[in-house]
Amino acid sequence: MIAYDDLPVTADGRHHAWHVFAGDERGSLGRLTDEVVRAAIAEVRTGERIALSVPLGTFQPALSGKRGDIRHSVTRTRSGGDDKLDNFYLQESSQWDGFAHVRYREFGFLGGRDVGDLNAGALGIDRMAPAGIVARGVLVDLPRHWAATGRVWDPARRYEITIADVNAALAAQSSPVRAGDVLLVRTGWVGWYLSLDEAARNELGGAMTSATLPSPGLCQGDTFARWLWNHGVAAVGADNPALEAIPVPKGAGFLHRYLLPLLGIPIGELWALDGLAAACERTVRWSFLLVSVPLNLPQGVGSPNNAVAVL
């Protein structure tokens, strides 16, 4: 595998993996070979399954004010029922960001593709659906690690998680990252949100759009992009609204742009990780089989994660 610093660069000096994934629209999910998946299946010890999604409609009012809330209507008759969803934003839940979500400046989406390519079907979330995402997952439980070292973790404040933070937690958990893994970072944000009363949740409505919603997350710039690439990570997710720390300071280097259009690493956000964290602590192991099936939606930009961990 080519090291991050040996990758070619765009005209403005940003490393990219476009030649690595030439013709392959799955990006780093291409690292999930049959051999890697067989090794991931070997992580299953007890067969315990843990869902990694919150219920649809959990984040209401919508954190992104421009999206609005999902509406679910059910029609029932004597013989059965039917239902539909209106205003269903696929990235207003426990979800994946696909490669059509973010462009890297004038250079394009993953592989240098442009909007015309996307309109023709390129980089749709459906490219991830046929084989799904079946991988070894590794949980980095930062609130637990901080508590064990006598520090206080606050999921409601902005904090930039460093490589040192992640490496220290992984070392304490004895859970090294292998090529082809999906890294999941627990910040405790979703659990904190679920603990709020209705009035407090109402105050958060639209907070992402107005950039007034603070949360911990991965640090900005290419520091984590380099670390993820060099570890051969297939995808990365967290239980916060944006994976990276928000708000993003101007000029800090939006991590989404490094991971999605430049390196082809899918991003998961707002995952439900508290139940998984409790199970990992109980069994004293922080790796597991991860199974996720994105929607088979042509031209889709994102998808609910439809994910489960198997211990």
Query: Residue for token digits 């000096």?
Result: 13
Q: What angle do CA 247, 252, 255 make, to 5 degrees?
A: 75
- Cβ atoms of 91 and 237 closer than 8 Å: no
Superfamily of domain 4-63+94-310 in the CATH hierarchy: Putative cyclase (3.50.30.50)
Give me the pLDDT at residue 23, please: 84
**CA–CA separation, 225 and 278 (whole Å):** 28
- Cβ atoms of 275 and 311 closer than 8 Å: no
- Tens-place pLDDT, residues 33-72: 999 999 999 999 999 999 999 999 999 999 998 899 999 9
Sites in the chain below the pLDDT cut of 70: none
Give me the pLDDT at residue 195, please: 98
- Cβ atoms of 272 and 54 closer than 8 Å: yes
Give me the pLDDT at residue 1, please: 83
Longest dimension (CA), the chain: 65
Q: How many CB atoms lie within 10 A of CB 78?
A: 4
Q: Which of 289, 309, 298 is closest to 40 using CA atoms? A: 289
Rounded to whole angstroms, what are the CA distances from 218 to 123, 248, 254? Answer: 25, 11, 11
**Domain boundary assignment for the chain:** 4-63+94-310
Tokens representing 122 are 């390129």
Give me the pLDDT at residue 145, please: 98
Give me the pLDDT at residue 297, please: 97
pTM of the entire structure?
Answer: 0.97
